[in-house]
């Protein structure tokens, strides 16, 4: 699940988004570990599995990672 928290950087507030299970975030063709957006930017992200992923990289069982990779392939993702 993508977690959103409000953080303050140099007096300005931003949304910090990251995966609760260590997955990458993707928006269009770009992939991120985590992101900081201006509040109200309405940018949308999805969680994706890195091609180089190993079970130790994530906080979820690897069988789920394999299913996520297969889903990404079926849906035309990475």
**Cα distances (angstroms) measured from residue 20 to each of 12, 47, 64:** 24, 10, 14
- pLDDT, one tens digit per residue, over 57-66 is 555 555 666 6
At 28, list the tokens. 């269009």
CB 21 within 8 A of CB 60: yes
Query: Residue 34: beta bridge partners?
Result: 18
The DSSP letter of residue 45 is: -
pLDDT per residue over 30-73, tens digit each?
889 899 999 989 899 999 876 665 556 555 555 666 677 777 77
Domain boundaries, the chain: 2-74
**SS3 of residue 77 by DSSP:** coil
């Amino acid at each position: 699940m993508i977690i959103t928290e409000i953080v303050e950087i140099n007096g300005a507030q931003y949304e910090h988004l990251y995966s609760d299970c260590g997955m990458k975030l993707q928006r269009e063709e770009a992939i991120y570990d985590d992101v900081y957006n201006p509040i109200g930017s309405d940018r949308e992200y999805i969680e994706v599995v890195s091609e180089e992923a190993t079970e130790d990289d994530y906080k979820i069982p690897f069988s789920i990672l394999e299913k996520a990779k297969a889903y990404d392939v079926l849906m035309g993702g990475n």
